[in-house]
């Protein structure tokens, strides 16, 4: 009986097909959420609910790259600010998801920190250049939206940990 109880607490090992399917579902979910929320995801206060999905990299480390690609794809389809925004979005996505993975190993709720901090400080670097707006003004507007996404992402990851 003890052996059975131990196995229930260990996450199942996923094969390549399962990883590919989960990656595709997460990318699709990210893009669909961005599409449905683009009215306020690309506005003055960028409340990007989809960035909360970065926390899933703490649950499944293989999602780091797919989450970065999801950001690239959404910026390509909906952003309209060109190559710099697309490349920057990819870099921000990879860095944020990677840090979520690292911090999530210690405590799943720590995944809120990179979601709140990385996009808030990194995205305005190129947006200030593209839009001709002050960096600190963009940081302030992104901080509002990323706080919501960070908390939502950490709660989502905590609920899904060990379930998928």
Q: d(Cα 46, Cα 140) in Å, to the nearest integer?
A: 10
pLDDT of residue 7: 45
The CATH code of domain 11-160 reads: 1.10.1760
pLDDT of residue 137: 92
pLDDT of residue 12: 64
For 36-55, letters b (16+ CB in 10 Å) and e give eebeebbeeebbbbbbbbbb
Low-confidence ranges of the chain (pLDDT < 70): 1-12, 43-44, 164
Question: What are the residue boundaries of the structural domains of the chain, listed by start?
Answer: 11-160
pLDDT of residue 13: 76
pLDDT of residue 40: 79
Q: d(Cα 44, Cα 40) in Å, to the nearest integer?
A: 8
pLDDT of residue 52: 95
CA 6 to chain centre: 31
pLDDT of residue 32: 96
């Amino acid at each position: 009986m003890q052996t059975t109880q131990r196995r229930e607490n260990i996450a199942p090992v996923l094969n390549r097909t399962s990883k590919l399917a989960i990656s595709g579902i997460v990318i699709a979910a990210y893009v669909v959420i961005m599409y449905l929320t683009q009215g306020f995801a690309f506005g003055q206060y960028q409340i990007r609910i989809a960035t909360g999905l970065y926390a899933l990299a703490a649950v499944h480390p293989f999602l780091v790259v797919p989450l970065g690609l999801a950001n690239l794809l959404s910026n390509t389809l909906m952003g309209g600010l060109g190559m710099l925004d697309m490349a920057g979005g990819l870099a921000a996505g990879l860095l944020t998801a990677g840090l979520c993975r690292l911090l999530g190993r210690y405590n799943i709720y720590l995944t809120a920190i990179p979601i709140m901090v990385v996009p808030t400080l990194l995205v305005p670097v190129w947006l200030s250049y593209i839009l001709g707006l002050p960096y600190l003004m963009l940081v302030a507007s992104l901080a509002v939206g990323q706080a919501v996404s960070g908390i939502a992402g950490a709660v989502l990851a905590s609920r899904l940990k060990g379930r998928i």
